[in-house]
Chain A
Amino acid sequence: MADGVAGLTAARSRELRSLRRMREGLIWLVLWACALVSVFTTFGIVFVLVHQSLPMFREVSVREFLTGTRWTPLLEPRSYGILPLVCGTALVAGGALLVAVPLGLSTAIYLSEYAPGRVRQVVKPFLEILAGIPTVVYGYFALVFVTPNVLRPLFPQTEIFNAASAALVVGIMVIPTISSLCDDALRAVPQTLREAAYALAATRLEVSTRIVLPAASSGVVAAILLAFSRAVGETMAVVLAAGMTARLTLNPLQSIQTMTAYIVQVSLGDTPAGTIEYHTAFGVGLVLFSITLVINVGAQRILWRFREIYE
Chain B
Amino acid sequence: MPGLGRIVGVVVTVGLGLAAFGQQTHRAVLSGTVRVDGSSTVYPITAAAAELFAEVQPRVHVIVGISGTGGGFKKFLEEKPELRTDIQDASRPISPAELERARKLGVEFVELPIAYDGIAVVVHPSNTFCDYLTLAELKAIWEPGSRIGNWKQVRPGFPDLPLKLYGPGMDSGTFDYFTEVVVGKSKACRADFTPSEDDNVLVQGVEGDRGSLGYFGLAYYEANRSRLKLLAIDPGDGRPIKPDVQTVRRLEYRPLARPLFLYVSKAALARPEVRAFLEFYLENAPRIVEHPKVGYIALSEKLYQAARQRLDQTITGTVYADPESHSKSLYQLYGLEDK
Instruction: Mark A residues whose CB is within 8 Å of B.
Output: 70-72, 74-77, 148, 152, 157, 159-161, 243-247, 255, 265, 269-271
The answer on a CB contact under 8 Å between B170 and A269 is: yes
The answer on a CB contact under 8 Å between A160 and B170 is: no
- How far apart sit A159 and B186, CA to CA, in the bound complex (Å)? 27
The answer on a CB contact under 8 Å between A76 and B209 is: no
The answer on a CB contact under 8 Å between B191 and A72 is: yes
B53 to chain A, nearest CB (A): 23
Known: A72-B144, A76-B188. 16 other contacts (CB 8 A): A72-B191, A74-B170, A75-B187, A75-B189, A75-B191, A76-B185, A76-B186, A77-B144, A159-B209, A160-B201, A244-B169, A244-B196, A247-B192, A265-B170, A269-B170, A270-B40
A162 to chain B, nearest CB (A): 10
> Which of chain A's residues have a CB closer than 8 A to the CB of B40?
270
- How far apart sit A76 and B184, CA to CA, in the bound complex (Å)? 11
> Which of chain A's residues have a CB closer than 8 A to the CB of B192?
245, 247
B37 to chain A, nearest CB (A): 13
- How far apart sit A77 and B162, CA to CA, in the bound complex (Å)? 25
Among candidates A70, A74, A152, A247, residue contacting B187 with C-beta atoms closer than 8 Å:
A74
| Interface presence of B164 (CB below 8 A) | yes
- How far apart sit A243 and B194, CA to CA, in the bound complex (Å)? 7
Q: A75-B191, A76-B189, A255-B194 known; A160 and B144 CB under 8 Å?
A: no
A63 to chain B, nearest CB (A): 21
B309 to chain A, nearest CB (A): 35
The answer on a CB contact under 8 Å between A75 and B193 is: no
* 9 tightest Cβ-Cβ pairs between the two chains A and B: A76-B188, A269-B171, A74-B170, A160-B205, A72-B191, A76-B187, A270-B171, A255-B194, A247-B192
Instruction: Report how many A-B pairs have Cβ atoms within 8 Å.
Output: 59
Closest to A156 in B: B210
- How far apart sit A89 and B204, CA to CA, in the bound complex (Å)? 25
B42 to chain A, nearest CB (A): 14
The answer on a CB contact under 8 Å between B208 and A160 is: yes
Q: A74-B170, A269-B171 known; A160 and B194 CB under 8 Å?
A: yes
> Which of chain B's residues have a CB closer than 8 A to the CB of A245?
191-195
- How far apart sit A72 and B191, CA to CA, in the bound complex (Å)? 7
- 1/0 per residue, CB under 8 A from A, across B104-131: the answer is 0000000000000000000000000000
Closest to A79 in B: B191
- How far apart sit A70 and B209, CA to CA, in the bound complex (Å)? 25
> Which of chain B's residues have a CB closer than 8 A to the CB of A265?
169-170
| Interface presence of B163 (CB below 8 A) | no
The answer on a CB contact under 8 Å between A70 and B171 is: no
| Interface presence of B66 (CB below 8 A) | yes
Closest to B179 in A: A76
Among candidates A75, A148, A161, residue contacting B194 with C-beta atoms closer than 8 Å:
A161
The contact sample of 12 A-B pairs, CB cut-off 8 A, is A72-B144, A74-B170, A74-B187, A75-B187, A75-B188, A77-B144, A148-B208, A159-B209, A160-B204, A244-B194, A244-B195, A245-B192
Closest to B208 in A: A160
Closest to A72 in B: B191
> Which of chain A's residues have a CB closer than 8 A to the CB of B170?
74-75, 265, 269
List residues of B (32-70) whose CB comes within 8 Å of A's CBs. Answer: 40, 66
Closest to B66 in A: A270
- How far apart sit A77 and B179, CA to CA, in the bound complex (Å)? 12
- How far apart sit A70 and B190, CA to CA, in the bound complex (Å)? 11
The answer on a CB contact under 8 Å between B164 and A159 is: yes
> Which of chain B's residues have a CB closer than 8 A to the CB of A74?
170, 187
- How far apart sit A250 and B196, CA to CA, in the bound complex (Å)? 22
Closest to A143 in B: B201
The answer on a CB contact under 8 Å between A76 and B66 is: no
The answer on a CB contact under 8 Å between B194 and A76 is: no
- How far apart sit A74 and B201, CA to CA, in the bound complex (Å)? 20
Q: A157-B162, A245-B194 known; A76 and B144 CB under 8 Å?
A: yes
